[in-house]
Amino acid sequence: MARTRGATVRRVRLWRWRRNPLRRRSDLVEAWLRLVTVVLALLLGASAGAAAAGAVDASLADRRERTRPVTAVLAEDTARGTSAPVTENGDGNGGVWAKVRWTAPDGTIRTGRAEVEPGSGAGSAVTVWTDSSGRLVAAPPAGAEAAFQTVMAGGTVTVTTGGLVLLCGRLVGARLQRRRLAEWEAEWRQVEPTWRRRMTG
């Protein structure tokens, strides 16, 4: 008995873009939908990410412009201060909070608590950051820390925006798929009686 070799099935790439008798209008629409979705995800994601990075960078620059370093004097030994292992910038330098005294822009002497290096005694000079009115503020991010925050903001917004666009495209594609299946089912109901008569004679 002769053996029949199994036919090799080859996957045709980009078949939705090629003219063939099996391609339906919905297949071409789906192909365009996928292409447009990917392009929009890249463009909108990149644009939104760049805008977010620019906004964060401008905000940090404005913050640096509105603050300034001031020389203050420790009003107590740092041994009495409260441990501050992690700063606002997350560098974890093991500083402590201690009472300091500094001169505001209007010439008044002010006191407050600021993060300083441990091991300093009362009367030591330390550097603190203040705003335009002389109030204590956290040191603004600069250098690598500022660049990291800017890149993280831009990258997060880029991925989020692109992901949302792809998700919307996927949802529309799923709806087109359900519609195509419904059309196939309707056509089969029309063809089935004729096909069955031919098969049964």
pLDDT in tens, 55-84: 999 999 999 989 999 999 998 887 655 555
The closest alpha carbon to 68, from 115, 127, 125, belongs to: 127
pLDDT at residue 1, rounded to an integer = 45
Are both 119 and 93 inside the same structural domain?
Answer: yes
In a domain, 6, yes or no: no
Query: Minimum mean pLDDT among 4-18, 117-131, 171-185: which range?
Result: 4-18
Q: What's the whole-model pTM score? A: 0.66
In a domain, 12, yes or no: no
In a domain, 180, yes or no: yes
Spatial contact of 72 and 100, defined as CB atoms under 8 Å apart = yes
Are both 126 and 179 inside the same structural domain?
Answer: no
pLDDT exceeding 70 applies to what percent of the chain? 77
Are both 35 and 133 inside the same structural domain?
Answer: no
In a domain, 171, yes or no: yes
Are both 118 and 80 inside the same structural domain?
Answer: yes
User: Is 80 exceeded by the pLDDT of residue 18?
Assistant: no
Are both 50 and 72 inside the same structural domain?
Answer: no
Give 180 or 63, the one with higher predicted confidence: 63
Q: What is the pLDDT of residues 78-130, one digit of tens each?
A: 765 555 544 444 445 567 888 899 998 888 999 999 888 887 788 889 999 99
Are both 102 and 163 inside the same structural domain?
Answer: no
In a domain, 9, yes or no: no
Q: What is the pLDDT of residues 24-37, one digit of tens each?
A: 777 777 888 888 99
Residues in CB range of 76: below 8 A, 6 or more apart: 98, 99, 122
Are both 108 and 171 inside the same structural domain?
Answer: no
Are both 44 and 89 inside the same structural domain?
Answer: no
Tell me which of 115, 139, 163 is where a domain ends: 139
The domain in which residue 120 lies consists of 68-139
pLDDT at residue 14, rounded to an integer = 59
**Bridge-partner residues for 84, per DSSP?**
95
Are both 151 and 135 inside the same structural domain?
Answer: no
CA distance 140 to 59: 10
CB crowding 32-54: b at 16 or more within 10 Å, else e: ebbeebeebbeeebeebbeebbe
Are both 166 and 187 inside the same structural domain?
Answer: yes
The closest alpha carbon to 95, from 136, 138, 64, belongs to: 138
Length of the chain, in residues: 201
CA distance 76 to 35: 66
Which residue matches tokens 């495209």?
Answer: 169
- Domains held by the chain: number: 2
Tell me which of 97, 121, 139 is where a domain ends: 139
Tell me which of 91, 114, 139 is where a domain ends: 139
In a domain, 11, yes or no: no
Query: CB-hemisphere CA count at 13 Å for 200?
Result: 6
pLDDT at residue 180, rounded to an integer = 77
Spatial contact of 26 and 180, defined as CB atoms under 8 Å apart = yes
Spatial contact of 38 and 135, defined as CB atoms under 8 Å apart = no
In a domain, 17, yes or no: no
